[in-house]
Structure formats: structure tokens, C-alpha cells
């Protein structure tokens, strides 16, 4: 950790600051987490209805609306990579500001000249460019966290990030929409999301004064093109970072893939119906939110690799099989069993949370580049999962695709064994744990 970051975390602590520190949340970044939660609630408000709404208001068909979503997804993937690379070059706070500005400008254009004017071309352009917004804001803040948080508590700090991230998108965002849609309609709700996101963005970028995020993280002699190239070349210069990126792809690829064909199977074939299927999805993601915190904190105690291996990779390999085959075997009358295995999958999915702590720690001198690859893996998962479904659903059937997903998680378990931390990083973790344990004993006394 650089000196400015250490200084920012070593001020005299008040009671609230000590409480945050004990929970593993970096106190100087507290308002950033609050702002991130509000930002992602605003971004997630539309998640449950935007595609059909576009189809009825300018796109014309669901297929044309899906093209808009696809362009948006490509932008998200590129921005996920750029957020890490540019944070090294410009500093995380500046990247967050750019992400906030991009989202606001192009969402307003999308709502006015796109949806408001029923212009499909402008809808495609504005919504697509808007896709650069949230990854640059959210993942720029994640780089800030990895640059500031004590290495011994990095797992918990990252867990809090995903608590805010997934708590907003889609969980609380969809909940807000369930209240605002009846009051203001879908179009009015989209404007509500602009207000929420603006409030969250301003709280984060104006409220956090920790200075590390205000400055570039790369050495002064690194040029822009060199920074962007190094954020990719680190994959073969430091192969463990490249392996970690693959683990990140496997982390959520099955999640994105199952959402392509599970709805039809659970709603119609098993006979749950749409409402009970949606409740099952809510249970999966609701459980995931809280286990993001649990495994983030636990990983700092038992080890990041250990947590990813047992709870993430091995856990998901088992739970995704149960999520599919238990309801298929037991039928709609045993819906409560589906809820249990759904909660289990959501919990084990959170077992991968420490990968966001582990990967930058594998390249302590190039954290921004490592985070760029990590974020690229997160974006690529959105394509890999559905691609596997499109390739194998016909020849292998739904059960075969689920078995392929389980096998991928086992591959991730093997890959994690190669992600051994550098000796100096392990020593830093041991030192920080000793210092923090001593500090907690003093504060207790």
C-alpha cells in the first residue's frame, strides 16, 4: 500500500470509525460505499422492464430491443476493462466522475430523443454509449478500494463492495421500480432512476476525501498507450493474473447462462409458474448479497484461495447441479426444496468474492492492470455463459448444459490452486493481521 493510503487509514479513530474498521470496511471510503449503493439502485431500477418497454416504445420488436441490450453489453465489457487501466493512469476518482457524466448525459438523451422521440437509431446509440457509465464508476471505485484497504482486510472490503453493488443491481433497484411503476409509470420510473443515480454519484465523488483516489496509480513515466497495453500484457507477463481472469469468467458465466433457459424449464416444464420462478430468483440473489459480506470477512481469516476453492468453485459445482436436478426430480409440489437449493447456489456464488482481493495482490506493482483484467473477465462472463447454452443446449439438452457448468466450476477449482500469492504479500498480510489484532485488543481494553 502506498504512503498516502496508509496515512489516510491511520488517523485517530472515533467510535464509528473503529466500528467500520472492525467490520472490515475502510472508514475513509464509507461515503463511497453509500454512494455506490444508491448509484447501483438507480442503475438497477430498469432491470425488470426495460427490454419490453423499449420494444413497445420505439424498437418495435423484442428482437430489435435485444440488439440495443447487446450493444449495451459490449460497452459494459469494454468499460469494465478500461476502468482498471484508466484508474492507473488518471486516478480512480476521475474515472468515476467520467462514468457518472457518461451515464447521466446519455441516459437523458436516451429518455428524451430516443424513447421520448420514438427514434430507434438514437435509442441504440444513446443506450449503448450509456453502457460505459456504470462500470467506470463502480469498478473505478473498486480499484480505489484495492489501493487503500489494508491487505489483511481486503477480502472484507471487497465483500462490502459487492454488497453495495448487487444490493442495488438488481435487488433494491427492482424493489424501487415495484413501488414507482404504479405511481409514475415506466417512463416516470426511468426519471426516478436518474435522480437516485445522481444523488449516489455525487455522494461518492464529493464525499470521499481519501487522497489516493485523486492521483494516478501508475508510475509517472508510464504513457497512456503503454498503460492500456500493459493492462492486457500482464496476462502473459504474470500468468497467474491471466489464470485469475479465467476464474473470474467461470465465476458468473453459468449464472448468465442459466438465466437463458431456466425460466422456461422452471415456469412451464416443472410448473412453478412465473411468480414462483421470480421469487426463486429473488431468493438466489438475496442470499448472495449477504454471503458476499460473510465470505469477504471469512476469507481474510481462512485465506482467499481456500475460500474460493471450497466455497466458490467446489460449492458452486455441487449447488448448480442441485438447483437444476432437485426441482426436476421432485416437481412443483416441493417448491420449498427449490428455494433451499436456490439459496445454496446464491451463497456459494459469493464464495468467489475474494478473487477481487486475490488478483490485484498477485501483481502488487500493477494493481490497476490486474483489476482491468478482472473486470474484463466479469464482462466476458455475460457472453460466455449464453454462448455455451447456444452451442450445447440442442445436442446435450438442459441437463447436459448444467453438467458442463458444473465441470467449469471444477476447472476453476483446479486453476485456483495455481494462484499462490507472492511471498512479500503473504508477509504483509501476516504483519497487518498482527497489527490489527493488537489494535483490537487495545481498543477492547
Q: What is the pLDDT of residues 148-181, one digit of tens each?
A: 998 889 999 999 999 999 999 888 998 899 899 9
In a domain, 4, yes or no: no
Angle between helices 62-90 and 92-109 (to 10 degrees): 150
Angle between helices 133-148 and 30-44 (to 10 degrees): 160
In a domain, 224, yes or no: no
Question: Where is the domain boundary, 182, 217, 252?
Answer: 217
- Domain count for the chain: 2
In a domain, 29, yes or no: yes
Choose among 30, 334, 302, 321: nearest CA to 157: 30
| 10, 143, 147, 300 from 7: Cα distances, Å | 5, 18, 12, 22
* Nearest-angstrom CA–CA distance, 223 and 231: 12
Name the band, by pLDDT with cuts 50, 70 and 90, for residue 279: confident
Tell me: pLDDT of 369 over 80: yes
Choose among 155, 167, 153, 147: nearest CA to 36: 167
CA angle 35, 37, 42 (to 5 degrees): 95
Yes or no: say if 426 and 1 are a contact pair by the CB < 8 Å rule: no
Tell me: pLDDT of 280 over 70: yes
Question: Where is the domain boundary, 183, 217, 251?
Answer: 217
Q: Which of 11-20, 42-51, 272-281, 377-386 has the lowest mean pLDDT?
A: 11-20
The number of CA neighbours under 13 Å toward the Cβ of 56 is: 7
78-92 pLDDT per residue, tens? 999 999 889 989 999
pLDDT at 220: 80
* Nearest-angstrom CA–CA distance, 367 and 20: 24
User: What average pLDDT score do residues 426-437 get?
Assistant: 64
Yes or no: say if 38 and 30 are a contact pair by the CB < 8 Å rule: no
Centre a 10 Å sphere on the Cβ of residue 319 and count the other Cβ atoms it contains: 23
In a domain, 280, yes or no: yes
pLDDT at 7: 41
* Nearest-angstrom CA–CA distance, 139 and 39: 12
Sole residue written with cell 453438467: 403
pLDDT at 299: 95
Name the band, by pLDDT with cuts 50, 70 and 90, for residue 21: confident
382 and 257 in a single domain? The answer is: yes
291-344 pLDDT per residue, tens? 999 999 999 999 999 999 999 999 999 999 999 999 999 999 999 999 999 999
Four-CA torsion 85, 87, 90, 93, nearest 10 degrees = 160
pLDDT at 237: 87
pLDDT at 426: 73
* Percent of the chain surpassing pLDDT 90: 66
pLDDT at 5: 44
213 and 260 in a single domain? The answer is: no
Range 66-74 contact pairs with CB under 8 angstroms and sequence separation of 24 or more: 67/124, 68/123, 68/124, 68/127, 68/128, 71/124, 71/127, 71/128, 71/131, 72/127, 72/128, 72/130, 72/131, 73/131, 73/379, 73/382, 73/383, 74/128, 74/131
Name the band, by pLDDT with cuts 50, 70 and 90, for residue 2: very low
250 and 176 in a single domain? The answer is: no
pLDDT at 225: 77
pLDDT at 439: 54
Question: Where is the domain boundary, 158, 182, 217?
Answer: 217
pLDDT at 432: 64
In a domain, 231, yes or no: no
Mean pLDDT of the chain: 89
Cell output for 184: 409514475
105 and 50 in a single domain? The answer is: yes
* CATH code for position 272: 1.20.1250.20
Cell output for 117: 422521440
Chain centre to alpha carbon of residue 62: 27
133 and 89 in a single domain? The answer is: yes
92 and 196 in a single domain? The answer is: yes
* Nearest-angstrom CA–CA distance, 406 and 408: 5
Query: Model pTM?
Result: 0.86
Tell me: pLDDT of 116 over 50: yes
Range 236-240 contact pairs with CB under 8 angstroms and sequence separation of 24 or more: 238/362, 238/363, 238/366, 238/370, 240/362, 240/418, 240/419, 240/420
30 and 117 in a single domain? The answer is: yes
237-259 pLDDT per residue, tens? 899 999 999 999 999 999 989 98
In a domain, 12, yes or no: no
270 and 192 in a single domain? The answer is: no
| 87, 137, 214, 324, 339 from 97: Cα distances, Å | 11, 7, 11, 42, 40
Sole residue written with cell 481486503: 154
In a domain, 191, yes or no: yes
140 and 245 in a single domain? The answer is: no
Name which residue leads in pLDDT, 428 or 423. 423
In a domain, 229, yes or no: no
Task: Name the residue range of residue 344's domain.
Answer: 236-440
Yes or no: say if 238 and 362 are a contact pair by the CB < 8 Å rule: yes
Amino acid at each position: 500500500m502506498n504512503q498516502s493510503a496508509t496515512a489516510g487509514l491511520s488517523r485517530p479513530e472515533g467510535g464509528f470509525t473503529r466500528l467500520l474498521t472492525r467490520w472490515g470496511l475502510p472508514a475513509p471510503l464509507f461515503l463511497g460505499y453509500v454512494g455506490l449503493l444508491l448509484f447501483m439502485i438507480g442503475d438497477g431500477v430498469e432491470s425488470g422492464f426495460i427490454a419490453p418497454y423499449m420494444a413497445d416504445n420505439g424498437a418495435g420488436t423484442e428482437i430489435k430491443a435485444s440488439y440495443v441490450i447487446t450493444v449495451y453489453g459490449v460497452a459494459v465489457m469494454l468499460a469494465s476493462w478500461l476502468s482498471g487501466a484508466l484508474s492507473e493512469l488518471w486516478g480512480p476518482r476521475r474515472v468515476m466522475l467520467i462514468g457518472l457524466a457518461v451515464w447521466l448525459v446519455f441516459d437523458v438523451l436516451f429518455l428524451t430523443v430516443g424513447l421520448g422521440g420514438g427514434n430507434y437509431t438514437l435509442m441504440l446509440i444513446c443506450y449503448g454509449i450509456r453502457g460505459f457509465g456504470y462500470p467506470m464508476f463502480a469498478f473505478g471505485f473498486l480499484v480505489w478500494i484495492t489501493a487503500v484497504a489494508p491487505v489483511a482486510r481486503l477480502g472484507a472490503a471487497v465483500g462490502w463492495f459487492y454488497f453495495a453493488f448487487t444490493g442495488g443491481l438488481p435487488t433494491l433497484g427492482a424493489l424501487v421500480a415495484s413501488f414507482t411503476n404504479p405511481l409514475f409509470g415506466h417512463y416516470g420510473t426511468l426519471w426516478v432512476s436518474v435522480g437516485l443515480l445522481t444523488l449516489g454519484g455525487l455522494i461518492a465523488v464529493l464525499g470521499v476525501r481519501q487522497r489516493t483516489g485523486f492521483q494516478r496509480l501508475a508510475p509517472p513515466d508510464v504513457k497512456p498507450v503503454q498503460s492500456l497495453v500493459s493492462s492486457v500484457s500482464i496476462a502473459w507477463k504474470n500468468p497467474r493474473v491471466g489464470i485469475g481472469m479465467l476464474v473470474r469468467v467461470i465465476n458468473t458465466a453459468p449464472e448468465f447462462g442459466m438465466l437463458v433457459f431456466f425460466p422456461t424449464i422452471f415456469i412451464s416444464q416443472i410448473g412453478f409458474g412465473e411468480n414462483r420462478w421470480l421469487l426463486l430468483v429473488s431468493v438466489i440473489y438475496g442470499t448472495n448479497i449477504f454471503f458476499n459480506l460473510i465470505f469477504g470477512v471469512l476469507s481474510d481469516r481462512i485465506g482467499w484461495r481456500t475460500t474460493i476453492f471450497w466455497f466458490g468453485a467446489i460449492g458452486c459445482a455441487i449447488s448448480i447441479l442441485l438447483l437444476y436436478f432437485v426441482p426436476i426430480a421432485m416437481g412443483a409440489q416441493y417448491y420449498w426444496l427449490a428455494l433451499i437449493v436456490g439459496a445454496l447456489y446464491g451463497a456459494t456464488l459469493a464464495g468467489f468474492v475474494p478473487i477481487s482481493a486475490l488478483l490485484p495482490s498477485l501483481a502488487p506493482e500493477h494493481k490497476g492492470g490486474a483489476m482491468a483484467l478482472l473486470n474484463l473477465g466479469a464482462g466476458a462472463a455475460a457472453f460466455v455463459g449464453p454462448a455455451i447454452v447456444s452451442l450445447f443446449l440442442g445436442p446435450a439438452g438442459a441437463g447436459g448444459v448444467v453438467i458442463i457448468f458444473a465441470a467449469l466450476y471444477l476447472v476453476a477449482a483446479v486453476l485456483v490452486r495455481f494462484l499462490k500469492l507472492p511471498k512479500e504479500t503473504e508477509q504483509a498480510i501476516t504483519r497487518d493481521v498482527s497489527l490489527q489484532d493488537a489494535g483490537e485488543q487495545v481498543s477492547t481494553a
